[in-house]
Amino acid sequence: MLGRLPAFSADGILRIKEQLRSDPRPGKIDLGVGVYKDATGATPIMRAVKRAERLLWEAETTKSYTALPGEPEYLAAMRRLILGDDFEAGRVAAIATPGGTGAVRQGFELLRMARPGVRVFVTDPTWGNHLSILSYLGIETVPFRYFDPATHDVDAPGMLSDLAELREGDVVLLHGCCHNPSGADPDAQGWQALIRVINSAGAVPMIDLAYQGFGDGLEADAAATRAVCAACPEVLIAASCSKNFGIYRERTGILLAVMQDAGSRPLAQGALTHLNRQSYSFPPDHGARLVTMVLNDAGLRADWQGELDGMRSQIVSLRGALAQELRRRSNSGRFDFVEAHRGMFSLIGASPAQVASLRDDHAIYVIGDGRINIAGLGMGDVPALAKAMIKVGL
């Protein structure tokens, strides 16, 4: 039986990791895998998380199962982080999930359960796993224009024109901030225009919020999501703690269902809890407990937020340094978009041949679509990257 299984191609990011591992060249640069690296090239455990782990080790008395939806304290702390302290808890159903990917998967499962035959509109481009999971679940996807390769900015007219094709009950999958892979986000007016077209069609927004705190700050990065929740009758939010708490391997995420009609909450909560039971029974708790401790302790939270601000500042500085070096080497401002983008990623417009040349000739590893992880750079890598980008014809 097992010999009849279909063959699956290796994930692009995992393939890059294998190539990197086998590359003996010194000074190779990994701009593919989406993890934050500090000035030394390490992905550190954040100070507040480390302190919380020590406290947890001393205080924890059991490893018994958690609650099916996840611990209430975690769900409440994350609800406040994402939606704000004053948001009405009675309008939110939630489950803890194994990472942001688990939240995305459970969100798609919920949509399919609520509306068999649902169509999901996705930004072109979007994170590869969005398309992979939707395809695996047999959910119809409809791409809509989002990123203009010529301007390296949001294609607002194209986006709104394509979304005019929305029908009642369709879902629009959006990135809450730090759009992956492009790095280009709508401005406040752009978000309001999205809200109007979604509500006019009777569609439902689903927001993937994987990078809160990496764009312009925790509150600023939540502003668009909060505006959508204030204006739309129903919203799904899949959020990750991997990046902003640095707990990638702990697989800590949350799926929120937000509704204007609080009377719908019991049904939504029941469906979400059922999905957890069918998928993995009880969600993992270690990372969720650390996040809860950090968010609910004033001292830990202040230290965490300060370190997160420093991580964001480093990414902003790297963007500025790379844009400046490219400006100097190209004698033009055609790479200024690198500085304007937000979050970890930018699409640099590299063709597959240019991506291959960056890898083969310069030991610089980039995702096949030309996405680079700015957070994977060290300041010392900036000149080499800029030189290589010009050399391959970007």
Per annotation, catalytic residue among 30, 37, 96, 127: 127
Strands 252-259 vs 345-347: parallel, antiparallel or unpaired: unpaired
CB environment 308-340: b (16+ within 10 A), e (fewer):
beebbebbbebbebbbbbbbeeeeeeebebbbe
* Contact between residue 348 and residue 40 where contact means Cβ atoms under 8 Å apart: no
Per annotation, catalytic residue among 243, 323, 350, 381: 243
- Annotated catalytic residue 210: yes
What residues form DSSP beta bridges with 235?
258
- Annotated catalytic residue 127: yes
Phi-psi domain of 155 (left: phi exceeds 0; alpha: psi -120 through 50; beta: other) = beta
DSSP 13-33: HHHHHHHHHH---TT-EE-SS
Of 350, 339, 347, 333, which is closest to residue 315 (Cα–Cα)?
Answer: 339
* Contact between residue 94 and residue 70 where contact means Cβ atoms under 8 Å apart: yes
Per annotation, catalytic residue among 77, 184, 210, 222: 210
Of how many residues is the chain composed? 394
* Contact between residue 89 and residue 79 where contact means Cβ atoms under 8 Å apart: yes
Cα gap 359→363, rounded to integer Å = 5
Amino acid identity, position 293: M
Per annotation, catalytic residue among 162, 208, 221, 285: 208
Q: Which residues are catalytic?
A: 127, 208, 210, 243
